[in-house]
Structure 1
Amino acid sequence: MAKKANDDGKDLLAGKLLGHYRLDRMLASGGMARIYRAEDTNLDRIVAVKVLMRELIEMDDTLTERFEREAKAVAALEHDNIIRVYDYRRHKDLYYIVMNYIEGKDLADELNDLRRRGKLMDVDRAFRILGPVASALDFAHAAGIIHRDVKPSNILLDKNDKAILTDFGLVLRQSVDQTLGTAFGTPRYISPEQALASEKSVPQSDIYSLAVIVYEILTGDLLFRADTPMQIALSHISEPPPRPRSVNPDIPEAVERELLKALEKEPLKRHRSATEFINSVKAAYAAVNTGKVTRPPSNVRTPVFNEAQEMKQGIQAALSSSQADATPRLEDNRPSTKIPAVPEPKASVITPSRRFPVPVMAGGAVAILAIVAVLAFSALNAANNNGVTGDPTAESNTPVTPQLVSGGVPLKLVYNSTALVILNENAADLDVSGLTLAKPGAEAGIPGTEIRQNMIPAGDCVSLVQVGRDFDARDWKCQGKDYDQVDVAGQSLFWRTPKAAQFEVRVNGTVIALCETTNREQNEECVFNLPG
């Protein structure tokens, strides 16, 4: 939330009752919602209520899904430095999220105040604030969630200077919600890859945004200045960042190196995690004070990539569209395919969709930005041998033959036009961490990592259900008392797409079977074997 409410401004919702939440006054207003201070009349506590702007819903029917996605994503993130979600509800034509109320200010207010007084934030204090923020980002990334709007106004500071990461309104779940990933973000803090195509964001995109904040804190200046948001976004894409020491000569050279590394145009060249970045900057400052280089602490709470090669593979899967997924052909309509064991990945692979949306920006310059940005970024990638290149719209139609071996563990899918159930009818629990279900040739899909503990208990099931649809998996032979359910946006229902007759079953990226899609209410079945 960037725009603060005026104390004397009138708001039609102030004083109103939404459910049992009485809205007091508006705290802030952003691109899609307003935040109010409110009273929980049931529990007699002060809360923050984020209300989706009613006038925007008619203009974009995906906003309610995106808003619900934010509520569910943040509710699942139990971290001391991430805003807590208490409730998500609809009151007549209003959708709202209830969160804990943080009494204090945000980091943007603090930096603006320091700038007006001609001062810089104390470095130790900056680390006390940003260290927990980095931990919160890594925690979200490990859960498959990318924030995509990391900026000072989304970092709240309570009375004890404790930092709270908030406003996940542009959150991208790496596995499920790719079709809703077209929101642009804040140009001043946006990463190059997100400026080109928002759904191409990777965890290192948030690290870039965090590095822009660190740049402002250490230099007291903005990374890029321009007259329009479009020009700022283009600067992130094509212009090298000004060296921090050219603005503030007191910044140590080692600190400058780490900061410029986090601001690299290519995500592969940035730090592996947000905590690694902050710890590297801290270590660089410590080296100046002690006269020797110290190793950054390695106790990152939730590293997204453990090895450089794993990070490279993950980001290439997100940014490179030149290598299309292979689509096999099976002779029978109900495949029961035996496959060889495929090594389990050490780190999750990011798989956004192939769509390449044009960012919507002010000034009617959408087409210009799209054309110039693509050319600029392509030129940068071509100039670097390690860059990630490729045609973002290219897809391969070349079929491959599945690898067949004896043995394996049978798995059954039962589905209709609104739900798909994965049944484990075996006597042992089934590890599905390497399983992915997706449209043919698409990078985006539903991975097994979306399932609780990446496991389906013996005799139990997991259901994938269209958002907003009532569903009882027990009607589909699910006997477990605590079966898991994954909500899927309507655009992501890969098993009912009219554009393809089949969808893919993959294990660790290898296509092992094809199942027929359906548009009917009657149940379809597909049986195949997983590696034993």
Structure 2
Amino acid sequence: MTTQRRLEVGSEFGPYRLVRLIGRGGMGEVFEAYDTGKDRVVAIKVLPERLAEDPVYRERFRRESHAAARLKEPHVIPIHDYGEIDGHLFIDMRLVEGENLRAVLRENAPLEPAAAVELIRQVAAALDAAHGDDLVHRDIKPDNILTTPDGFAYLVDFGIAHSSTAEGLTADGSAIGSFHYMSPERFSSRVVTKAADIYALGCVLYECLTGARPFPADTDGEIMRAHMVEPPPRPSRLRPEIPTAMDTVIVKALAKDPAARYTGAGEFAAAAQEALRGKAAVPEVLPTQEATTGDDTGTSAEAVVPQGATAGRGPEPPDGGPRIRPPEPPKRTLRQAARRLAVPALIAAVILAAATVLVAWVASGRPADGTAVPDRAALNPDDVELVASAGLIGYKRANCVHREPDPATTALVSCDANDRTGAPTARLFRFRTLEGLRDYYRHFVIEAYGATNCPNDPPGDDGPLVVNGKPAGRDACLTSRADDPAAPEPVLAVADEDQLALGIYIWADPGDQPTRDYIASHHLYHFLPKEKTVDPDFFTAADRRVLDHLTGDYGSATCKHMDLPAGSAAEAAIHCATRGDPGPTFFGFPDHRSMSLGYQAGLGQVSGHACGGGGADDVWRKSTGPVGRFFCATDENATFGARPCLLAVHDEFRLMIDVCASAKDDPDGAVKSEADLLGWFRTNFG
């Protein structure tokens, strides 16, 4: 094979001059090019180097490109030529001036129902032509559908398709296609039929109608699980203007059993058109299997709710302003009455209807008594216990939603990232049995991702999870390319066998990998036993008195209740975490005497000293005068090593602050030394 060279705009590639890069993805690069031999402008798709080096794939590529070039259906992008140049596999196609459907949806989703169905009808015509020639596409997704300004659609990328009758030539059985649109059988069988294309086209129609993917999970393993066990969503739940007959169409197209789907893409498109006209027969309930298993709420907050929406605690203080505020007389403040909460995922479809009901309620002036009923997305007691067991401050009811557990699990929760605390997106599972946990972890984490060991672990697919110095399960470091193959997201999977729990944590930015590695190397993410868990939104009355003295980022969304140490004279303890912050713990005391005794005991036990030297402790001064005292000390910790710490007491508020600097190897910690810690304290509380 000829040694490959890097292709660049302006370079010569056989008879082609590469004019501009149109796009880049997991299956190669597409260039606008000028064919000097035939005097025409074309689109050239060049496949990745790894595929050209695989003799099995090279043969399949040649065979399937030849089959695709024979197709004459108008909605199949015409293929002029294909082959190999300088060690690169390529396809020469007609250059279409327009956008791929992914770009269209990014700007205009959801589409008008009639426009969405018409687009699917055109793609279905291309698929029926391919299926009639025993060619299965295997990668139907918005990226492979091109649309012109006048609404004409082309289906592209038949060059990686698969003949349904020829002998299979895949060397390693690797899957081709995006997990977001892959049918259930694709994850368990090498035999792929046209039913897989119909399933994928159903996923695309759902996304066009609603703006959301049918199973919008964040990790490859969770996407696989959703396609295999969760029931198809119903588009009318998100857009009431969509006829409920369309729900039936989507359910049939996305049936788990390939034999239960439409027999052809055109049949599917025709059923969608009939559903829009209101002519399709609508059963009183959807098919039993689809209607009674799993979460049928349809989508997640990623499509309909702004991400990162969390409860607030009022405006930020001015730069350099105090992070503790003076006491206020007891009253119901506007902040308390109108605290903003994130809209729970999966319920955006009811907002319009709720507004209509509100108008009627106000107009009548005579509201009826009733009982509040939780939304289907609301956490149930098992979910709350699971979130609490994860132990991270950033996961609250405001950003976590219930997902319907399958037979292997007792609880399944999805949590959006909490940017204020640095907590990443998470999927949390509680399993019924150890066998169930191990089976899911093996198939949907290790095998699906090609996972590897985390830093400080022995070489292998994963490593031991260590909690309190003892093995407690397994963990693995991996990356997810589910959203953007060019920007792999760092992922940490933690299988805590002691607690029968699995956590899959996904950081959105590839640059967060050092944070993932730090957390993994110290085994900071694991699950707590039930007796040590506390409802993540629970605060005692004494806790809230402490919160009422805090400003800035410290509030109910970034702090959690802590159980008091044995023998403590304090009446409240809350631990807080904000991104880049050292993470203080605040204690509230019932009287000045008990607080003073606690402060003096701490000063003597840890050999405290004035921060920076010069005595045993120092005066805590604010612009209005002295408010208390504080000292520094060194904490020896088996996990983090020796760290400087600071303890301060506020006389008037009967409040104690206990905080330690970040570990020296913490990539997110800005406070590492005693001088850093003193500067942080004076900036935020001085």
Q: How many residues align?
A: 286
Structure 1: gaps of 5 or more residues? 1-10, 295-357, 369-532
- Identify the residue that residue 196 of structure 2 maps to in structure 1: 205
- Identify the residue that residue 44 of structure 2 maps to in structure 1: 49
Shift of residue 80 of structure 1? Answer: 0.4
Residues 1:169 and 1:31: Cα distance change in structure 2 (over 3 Å): farther
Summarize deviations over 1:502-521 as a string: whole Å, max 9, x none: xxxxxxxxxxxxxxxxxxxx
- Identify the residue that residue 19 of structure 1 maps to in structure 2: 14
Q: Is the 8 A contact 1:87 1:99 kept in 2?
A: yes
Q: Is the 8 A contact 1:35 1:49 kept in 2?
A: yes
Please list, as runs of the form range in 1=range in 2, the aligned pairs for 1:350-429 lying within 5 A after superposition: 361-364=448-451
Alignment of 1:66 onto 2:60? yes
**Other structure's SS at 2:83 match:** strand
**Other structure's SS at 1:149 match:** coil
> Separation in 2 of the partners of 1:213 and 1:37?
26
Q: Is the 8 A contact 1:183 1:359 kept in 2?
A: no
- Identify the residue that residue 112 of structure 1 maps to in structure 2: 106
Alignment of 1:247 onto 2:238? yes
- Identify the residue that residue 124 of structure 2 maps to in structure 1: 134
> Separation in 1 of the partners of 2:137 and 2:40?
28
> Separation in 2 of the partners of 1:208 and 1:287?
23
**Other structure's SS at 2:116 match:** helix
| TM-score (normalizing by structure 2) | 0.39
Q: Is the 8 A contact 1:184 1:195 kept in 2?
A: no
Residues 1:145 and 1:251: Cα distance change in structure 2 (over 3 Å): same
Q: Is the 8 A contact 1:195 1:359 kept in 2?
A: no
**Other structure's SS at 2:60 match:** helix
Deviates more, 1:235-244 or 1:268-277: 235-244
Residues 1:140 and 1:187: Cα distance change in structure 2 (over 3 Å): same
Q: Is the 8 A contact 2:203 2:254 kept in 1?
A: yes
Deviates more, 1:176-185 or 1:136-145: 176-185
Instruction: Answer 1 or 2: higher relative contact order, Cα 8 Å, separation at least 6.
Output: 1
Shift of residue 22 of structure 1? Answer: 0.8
Summarize deviations over 1:101-160 as a string: whole Å, max 9, x none: 111101111111114xxxx21222223211111011011111001101101110001232
2:183 maps to amino acid: S
**Other structure's SS at 2:73 match:** coil
Shift of residue 163 of structure 1? Answer: 0.3
> Separation in 1 of the partners of 2:69 and 2:99?
22
Question: Which of the numbers 189, 197, 214 marks the counterpart of 2:181?
Answer: 189
1:184 maps to amino acid: I
Question: Which of the numbers 154, 165, 178 marks the counterpart of 1:175?
Answer: 165
Alignment of 1:33 onto 2:40? no
- Identify the residue that residue 209 of structure 2 maps to in structure 1: 218
Residues 1:18 and 1:187: Cα distance change in structure 2 (over 3 Å): same
- Of structures 1 and 2, the larger Rg is shown by 2
> Separation in 2 of the partners of 1:359 and 1:151?
26
> Separation in 1 of the partners of 2:22 and 2:250?
33
Question: Which of the numbers 219, 231, 235 marks the counterpart of 2:222?
Answer: 231
Please list, as runs of the form range in 1=range in 2, the aligned pairs for 1:154-173 lying within 5 A after superposition: 154-173=144-163
> Separation in 2 of the partners of 1:25 and 1:43?
19
1:219 maps to amino acid: T
Residues 1:55 and 1:147: Cα distance change in structure 2 (over 3 Å): closer
- Identify the residue that residue 465 of structure 2 maps to in structure 1: none
- Identify the residue that residue 153 of structure 1 maps to in structure 2: 143
1:106 maps to amino acid: N
Shift of residue 203 of structure 1? Answer: 0.9
Q: Percent identity between the aligned chains?
A: 37
> Separation in 2 of the partners of 1:36 and 1:138?
28
Summarize deviations over 1:274-298 as a string: whole Å, max 9, x none: 111111111122126xxx869xxxx
> Separation in 1 of the partners of 2:259 and 2:45?
35
2:451 maps to amino acid: G
> Separation in 2 of the partners of 1:15 and 1:62?
32
**Other structure's SS at 2:72 match:** coil
Summarize deviations over 1:278-324 as a string: whole Å, max 9, x none: 11111122126xxx869xxxxxxxxxxxxxxxxxxxxxxxxxxxxxx
Shift of residue 77 of structure 1? Answer: 1.1
Q: Is the 8 A contact 1:47 1:101 kept in 2?
A: yes
> Separation in 1 of the partners of 2:278 and 2:97?
36
1:108 maps to amino acid: R
**Other structure's SS at 1:264 match:** coil
Shift of residue 55 of structure 1? Answer: 4.7
Shift of residue 367 of structure 1? Answer: 9.5
Q: Is the 8 A contact 1:74 1:83 kept in 2?
A: no
Summarize deviations over 1:329-354 as a string: whole Å, max 9, x none: xxxxxxxxxxxxxxxxxxxxxxxxxx
Shift of residue 219 of structure 1? Answer: 1.8
1:215 maps to amino acid: Y
> Separation in 1 of the partners of 2:162 and 2:257?
19
Summarize deviations over 1:472-493 as a string: whole Å, max 9, x none: xxxxxxxxxxxxxxxxxxxxxx
Shift of residue 360 of structure 1? Answer: 7.0
1:263 maps to amino acid: L
- Identify the residue that residue 387 of structure 1 maps to in structure 2: none
> Separation in 1 of the partners of 2:451 and 2:159?
23
| TM-score (normalizing by structure 1) | 0.50
1:240 maps to amino acid: P
Q: Is the 8 A contact 1:170 1:185 kept in 2?
A: no
- Identify the residue that residue 278 of structure 1 maps to in structure 2: 269
Coordinate RMSD, CA, aligned: 2.6
Residues 1:126 and 1:246: Cα distance change in structure 2 (over 3 Å): closer
> Separation in 2 of the partners of 1:89 and 1:270?
36
Summarize deviations over 1:233-256 as a string: whole Å, max 9, x none: 121011112332222232212111
**Other structure's SS at 2:271 match:** helix
**Other structure's SS at 1:82 match:** coil
> Separation in 2 of the partners of 1:111 and 1:241?
21
Shift of residue 176 of structure 1? Answer: 1.2
1:112 maps to amino acid: R
Q: Is the 8 A contact 2:175 2:186 kept in 1?
A: no
Shift of residue 361 of structure 1? Answer: 4.2
Residues 1:52 and 1:219: Cα distance change in structure 2 (over 3 Å): closer
Shift of residue 49 of structure 1? Answer: 0.8
Summarize deviations over 1:344-391 as a string: whole Å, max 9, x none: xxxxxxxxxxxxxx99743528999xxxxxxxxxxxxxxxxxxxxxxx
Question: Which of the numbers 126, 133, 141 marks the counterpart of 1:143?
Answer: 133
Structure 2: gaps of 5 or more residues? 1-5, 283-444, 453-459, 463-686
> Separation in 2 of the partners of 1:367 and 1:81?
44
Alignment of 1:83 onto 2:73? no
1:205 maps to amino acid: A
> Separation in 1 of the partners of 2:64 and 2:99?
22
> Separation in 2 of the partners of 1:55 and 1:142?
31
1:70 maps to amino acid: E
> Separation in 1 of the partners of 2:219 and 2:256?
21
1:285 maps to amino acid: L
**Other structure's SS at 2:55 match:** coil
> Separation in 2 of the partners of 1:273 and 1:107?
22
> Separation in 1 of the partners of 2:233 and 2:278?
23
